[in-house]
C-alpha cells in the first residue's frame, strides 16, 4: 500500500505554496458544493420565462415534453449546478495555494486514454449491477412512454450525458482532486481517503429516500473513487467512471440516481419493484441496495491489488 503515499495526485498537491489546514478543507468542501448550486438560478429564471410558474412556486414544465427537449434542460441543470465548482477551486488555488488548476489531477498526458477507459469501466460496473439484479429476479422491464424510450430518446440521452460529464467531473475535482490529496499532504493518504469519502456520503445524505445502506454505499463509492484516483495519479479516469455510472443508471436503464430521477428519456426502462428494498435499493435506486455494495467491494479490492498505472 506504500505506493499510494507516492501517488502523482499527492505530488501535484505538494506544489501548493500554502497547504490549507485539514479543518479548512472540511469546511470549504461543502461550502463550495452548496455555493455552486446557486448557478442554477439563471437557468430557473429562463425556464420560468419560457414555461411559467405553477402554484407553489415550481416551474410549470408542460406534459408531453419530448425526450430531446427534456434531456437538454436536464443536462443544463446539471451543468449550471456543478460547473461553478471548477471556478471556485480555480479561484482558491490561485489565491491561497498558489498552484494551477491542472494540479488537481488534470494533466494532459494520456488524458484521452484514461477518460475513454473510465467511461467503459463505469458503464461496465453498472451493467454488472443490472446483471446481478437480473440473476436474483429483482429487476423487470417496464413498458414506459414510447416517446421517452429507445430510439425516440437517443438524442435526449446523448444531451444528458454532457451534463453528467460536468457533474461527475466537478464532484471528483472537489473531493478526489482537492480534498483527498490536500489532506494527504499533511496527514497521509489514508486520512485523505477516509475524510473525503465521508464528505462525499454526507453531501448526498439529504437526497430523497436515503437509507443507512445507501449512505454506506455512498461511502464505499467514495473509497473506490479515492483509491482509483490515487492508483492512476490522475482524475481523468475516475471522473469518467463517475459520469458513466450515473448516466448508465439514469438514462441507459431508467433507474433512480441517488434518490433522484433522471430526465431526458432512457434507452431501456427498468424497474426494481420485483425485489426487496435491501437488495434493490427501493426508491433510492440501486445505490441503496446490497447488489451495489457487492460490486463496489469487488471494485475496491481489484483497484487496491492492481499495480500502479504505467502511462503510455
Domain assignment of residue 223, yes or no: yes
* Three state DSSP letters for 33-54: HHHHHHHHHHHHHHHHHHHCEC
Q: What is the pLDDT of residue 312?
A: 44
Q: Which residue has the higher pLDDT, 143 or 222?
A: 222
Domain assignment of residue 311, yes or no: no
DSSP state at residue 95: I
> By the 8 A CB rule, do 281 and 272 touch?
yes
pLDDT band of residue 260 (cuts 50, 70, 90) is confident
Q: Which residue has the higher pLDDT, 48 or 295?
A: 295
Percentage of the residues of the chain whose pLDDT score is greater than 70: 95
Per-residue pLDDT at 202 exceeds 50: yes
Q: Which pairs count as long-range contacts for 150-154, CB under 8 Å and 24+ apart, including other chains?
A: 150/267, 150/268, 152/67, 152/265, 153/67, 153/71, 153/251, 153/264, 153/265, 153/266, 153/267, 154/265, 154/267
Q: How far apart are CA 216 and CA 200, in angstroms?
A: 11
To the nearest whole number, what is the mean pLDDT of the chain? 92
Q: How far apart are CA 63 and CA 41, in angstroms?
A: 23
Domain assignment of residue 310, yes or no: no
Q: How far apart are CA 184 and CA 173, in angstroms?
A: 15
User: For 17-38, what is the mean pLDDT?
Assistant: 97
Range from 20-34, 153-167, 174-188, 270-284 carrying the lowest mean pLDDT: 270-284
pTM above 0.75, yes or no: yes
Q: What is the pLDDT of residue 154?
A: 94
Q: How far apart are CA 214 and CA 288, in angstroms?
A: 4
Q: Which residue has the higher pLDDT, 138 or 32?
A: 32
* CA triple 223-76-81, angle to 5 deg: 50
Q: What is the pLDDT of residue 60?
A: 66
pLDDT band of residue 131 (cuts 50, 70, 90) is very high
Which residue range is the domain that position 278 belongs to? 2-305
> By the 8 A CB rule, do 172 and 239 touch?
yes
Q: What is the pLDDT of residue 55?
A: 62
Domain assignment of residue 217, yes or no: yes
State the total domains in the chain: 1
Domain assignment of residue 312, yes or no: no
Q: What is the pLDDT of residue 54?
A: 66
Q: What is the pLDDT of residue 306?
A: 77
pLDDT band of residue 248 (cuts 50, 70, 90) is very high
Domain assignment of residue 98, yes or no: yes
pLDDT in tens, 34-70: 999 999 999 999 988 888 876 665 676 677 789 999 9
> By the 8 A CB rule, do 149 and 266 touch?
yes
Strand pairing partners for 260? Answer: 257
Q: Torsion angle of alpha carbons 200, 206, 209, 212, nearest 10°?
A: 50
Domain assignment of residue 168, yes or no: yes
Beta strands in the chain, from DSSP E residues, in sequence order = 140-141, 270-271
Domain assignment of residue 83, yes or no: yes
Q: What is the pLDDT of residue 309?
A: 53
Per-residue pLDDT at 102 exceeds 60: yes
Q: How far apart are CA 284 and CA 286, in angstroms?
A: 7
Residue position matching grid coordinates 443507512: 212
Range from 19-23, 84-88, 108-112 carrying the lowest mean pLDDT: 108-112
Amino acid at each position: 500500500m506504500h505506493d499510494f503515499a507516492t501517488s502523482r495526485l499527492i505530488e501535484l498537491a505538494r506544489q501548493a505554496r500554502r497547504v490549507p489546514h485539514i479543518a479548512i478543507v472540511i469546511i470549504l468542501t461543502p461550502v463550495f458544493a452548496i455555493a455552486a448550486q446557486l448557478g442554477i438560478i439563471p437557468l430557473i429564471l429562463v425556464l420560468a420565462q419560457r414555461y411559467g410558474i405553477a402554484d407553489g412556486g415550481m416551474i410549470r414544465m408542460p406534459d408531453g415534453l419530448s425526450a430531446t427537449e427534456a434531456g437538454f434542460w436536464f443536462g443544463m441543470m446539471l451543468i449550471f449546478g456543478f460547473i461553478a465548482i471548477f471556478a471556485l477551486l480555480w479561484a482558491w488555488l490561485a489565491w491561497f495555494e498558489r498552484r494551477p488548476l491542472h494540479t488537481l489531477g488534470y494533466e494532459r498526458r494520456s488524458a484521452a486514454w484514461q477518460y475513454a477507459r473510465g467511461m467503459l469501466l463505469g458503464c461496465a460496473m453498472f451493467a454488472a449491477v443490472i446483471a446481478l439484479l437480473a440473476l436474483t429476479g429483482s429487476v423487470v422491464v417496464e413498458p414506459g412512454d414510447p416517446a421517452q424510450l429507445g430510439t425516440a430518446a437517443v438524442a435526449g440521452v446523448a444531451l444528458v450525458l454532457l451534463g453528467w460529464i460536468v457533474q461527475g467531473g466537478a464532484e471528483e475535482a472537489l473531493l478526489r482532486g482537492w480534498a483527498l490529496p490536500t489532506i494527504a499532504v499533511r496527514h497521509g493518504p489514508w486520512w485523505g481517503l477516509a475524510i473525503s469519502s465521508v464528505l462525499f456520503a454526507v453531501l448526498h445524505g439529504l437526497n430523497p429516500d436515503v437509507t443507512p445502506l445507501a449512505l454506506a454505499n455512498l461511502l464505499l463509492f467514495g473509497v473506490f473513487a479515492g483509491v482509483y484516483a490515487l492508483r492512476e495519479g490522475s482524475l481523468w479516469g475516475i471522473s469518467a467512471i463517475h459520469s458513466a455510472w450515473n448516466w448508465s443508471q439514469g438514462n441507459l436503464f431508467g433507474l433512480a440516481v441517488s434518490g433522484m430521477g433522471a430526465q431526458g428519456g432512457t434507452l431501456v426502462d427498468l424497474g426494481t419493484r420485483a425485489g426487496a428494498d435491501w437488495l434493490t435499493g427501493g426508491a433510492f435506486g440501486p445505490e441503496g441496495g446490497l447488489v451495489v455494495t457487492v460490486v463496489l467491494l469487488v471494485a475496491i479490492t481489484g483497484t487496491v491489488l492492481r499495480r500502479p498505472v504505467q502511462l503510455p
